């Protein structure tokens, strides 16, 4: 079982932080063997050179008392030599590799070249992930409206999105192009990221004696900390590494992740990425998205066919877990705990069968905007671009195009008004809006073949 410490004083508005993993007291509690830690220390010193005990503990993200047994063993085995420094005990000693130590480090590098924070056990990763599942997020209409304030949505559409987020299950957003599907999906992601509370993600975990890295700076966001707090943390480093009851430094506290993929998605991105030179793995995208949102935009236009993708995910969507396969063929189970959003402008019936649609709990249609919604979007965008109100411009668009067979799109407002802005800038005129300018922009934008 994972060791946890209460974080009751650290709460988001309406969302409590999940219990933080506590720093291990012993090597056994860390979920590592002596042999594994020996090799990790040898590789670290081989690549980084001699290090103080304190710096080594900091790099491995383990309390010094946990690595001390390994350092003592390696010294007794004549793999390490120790330079003095006893102001605060062994933590201030400098550890260097001997010739024998360098030879063993080279052997360890052949088996696995990973150097960095020590991994957490798979079972700890699984437990922590389920503890901070997306289903634990509290969603209220007021909080959600704030995240969607920049969008113009009908009330019934807004009311369909809230329960979908609360459920933590999959969502299918569909409708004709240009009507806000991607913007809505991204707004859901922004809400989860900013108001969904923080979670803990490991730098790496250990499964079947293999290291799988999880933390990804491009996906997992860490809140900016004020400078004075950073200085206080630096001054407290020694205390954190020596004392008990602190948070396990092998875990990073991040905002709920949002992973967005489009047409580039293929099946290999949903499998472990194996580095044959270094002999360790990188977790697939949906594992990095655990606890957050996985958005598949333009579903149906991926390099992989919808049928292949859905066959890959049909059981994970139902069972809430997935199986990953190592290079040696061994499989292990990981949580599938994220809000999956499929966004498409294709007909869902042409993409998936009834069996899959049944597993997608929420279907949200984004139709073409009604006249009143279009007018609100147009007015908001004109105001954002610093233009004067001009209802006659909308009248012109409806009379000339939308009532003649072209379906209105919410994105037309942005595209047409940005063209008007460009025309004004080109002519060195103040940015403004007239029927003549919108007609000129429409003639450029709306191609009539």
pLDDT confidence of residue 201: 96
Find the largest Cα–Cα distance for the chain: 88
* Within-domain flag for 206: yes
Does 108 share its domain with 154? Answer: no
Does 61 share its domain with 166? Answer: no
Return the SS3 of 253: strand
pLDDT confidence of residue 310: 79
* Within-domain flag for 180: yes
Does 361 share its domain with 375? Answer: no
Q: What is the pLDDT of residues 80-105, one digit of tens each?
A: 998 876 555 677 889 999 999 999 99
CA distances from 256 to 34, 121, 148, 219, 337 (A): 34, 21, 18, 9, 12
* Within-domain flag for 3: no
Does 241 share its domain with 279? Answer: yes
**Boundary residue ending a domain (116, 142, 164):** 116
Residue 329 structure tokens: 């063929």
DSSP state of 408: P
CATH of the domain at 41: 1.10.10.10
pLDDT confidence of residue 190: 83
Does 55 share its domain with 100? Answer: yes
* Segments in the chain below pLDDT 70: 1-17, 85-89, 223-245, 447-449
pLDDT confidence of residue 89: 64
Return the SS3 of 392: helix
CATH of the domain at 275: 3.40.50.300
pLDDT confidence of residue 6: 34
pTM for this prediction: 0.82
pLDDT confidence of residue 85: 61
Measured over the CA atoms of residue 438, residue 441, residue 443 and residue 445, the dihedral's sign is: negative
* Within-domain flag for 16: no
Number of domains in the chain: 3
* Within-domain flag for 20: no
**Boundary residue ending a domain (348, 365, 382):** 365
CA distances from 242 to 53, 72, 84, 117 (A): 11, 17, 19, 17
**Boundary residue ending a domain (365, 395, 430):** 365
Does 182 share its domain with 148? Answer: yes
Does 40 share its domain with 148? Answer: no
**432 neighbors 396 (Cβ within 8 angstroms):** no
Pairing of strands 20-21, 4-5: antiparallel
State which residues form the domain around 427: 371-445
Does 101 share its domain with 144? Answer: no
Does 100 share its domain with 46? Answer: yes
* Within-domain flag for 14: no
* Within-domain flag for 13: no
Does 135 share its domain with 207? Answer: yes
320 phi/psi in degrees, rounded to 5: 65, 25
Does 221 share its domain with 312? Answer: yes
CA contacts within 13 A on the Cβ side of 447:
1
């Amino acid at each position: 079982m994972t060791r946890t410490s209460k974080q009751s004083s650290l709460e988001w508005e309406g969302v409590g932080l999940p219990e933080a993993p506590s720093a291990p007291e012993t090597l056994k509690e860390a979920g590592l063997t002596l042999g594994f830690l020996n090799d990790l220390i040898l590789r670290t010193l081989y690549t980084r050179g001699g290090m103080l005990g304190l710096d080594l503990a900091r790099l491995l993200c383990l309390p010094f008392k946990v690595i001390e047994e390994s350092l003592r063993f390696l010294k007794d085995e004549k793999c390490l030599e120790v330079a003095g420094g006893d102001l605060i005990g062994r933590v201030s000693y400098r550890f260097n590799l001997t010739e024998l130590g360098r030879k063993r480090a080279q052997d360890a590098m052949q088996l696995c070249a990973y150097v960095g924070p020590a991994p957490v056990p798979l079972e700890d990763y699984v437990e922590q992930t389920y503890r901070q599942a997306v289903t634990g997020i509290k969603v209220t209409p007021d909080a959600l409206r704030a995240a969607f304030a920049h969008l113009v949505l009908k009330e019934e559409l807004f009311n369909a999105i809230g329960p979908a987020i609360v459920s933590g299950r999959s969502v299918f957003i569909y409708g004709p192009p240009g009507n806000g599907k991607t913007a809505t999906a991204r707004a859901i992601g922004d809400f989860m990221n900013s108001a969904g509370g923080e979670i803990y993600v490991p730098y790496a975990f250990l499964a079947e004696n293999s290291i799988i890295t999880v933390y990804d700076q491009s996906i997992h966001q860490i809140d900016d900390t004020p400078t004075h707090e950073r200085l206080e943390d630096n001054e407290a480093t020694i205390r954190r590494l020596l004392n008990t009851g602190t948070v396990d430094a092998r875990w990073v506290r991040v905002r709920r992740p949002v992973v967005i993929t489009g047409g580039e998605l293929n099946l290999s991105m949903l499998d472990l990425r194996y580095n044959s030179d270094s002999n360790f793995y990188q977790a697939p995208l949906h594992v990095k998205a655990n606890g957050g949102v996985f958005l598949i935009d333009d579903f149906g236009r991926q390099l992989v066919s919808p049928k292949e993708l859905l066959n890959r995910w049909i059981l994970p969507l139902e069972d809430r877990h997935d199986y990953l396969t190592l290079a040696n063929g061994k499989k292990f189970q990981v949580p599938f705990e994220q809000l999956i959003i499929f966004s498409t402008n294709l007909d869902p019936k042409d993409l998936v069968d009834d069996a899959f649609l049944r597993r997608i709990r929420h279907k949200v249609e984004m139709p073409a905007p009604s006249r009143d919604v279009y007018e609100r979007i147009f007015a908001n965008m004109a105001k954002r671009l610093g233009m004067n109100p001009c209802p006659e411009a909308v009248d012109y668009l409806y009379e000339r195009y939308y009532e003649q067979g072209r379906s209105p799109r919410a994105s037309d407002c942005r595209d047409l008004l940005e063209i008007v802005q460009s025309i004004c800038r080109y002519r060195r005129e103040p940015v403004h809006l007239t029927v003549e300018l919108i007609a000129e922009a429409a003639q450029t934008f709306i191609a009539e073949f």
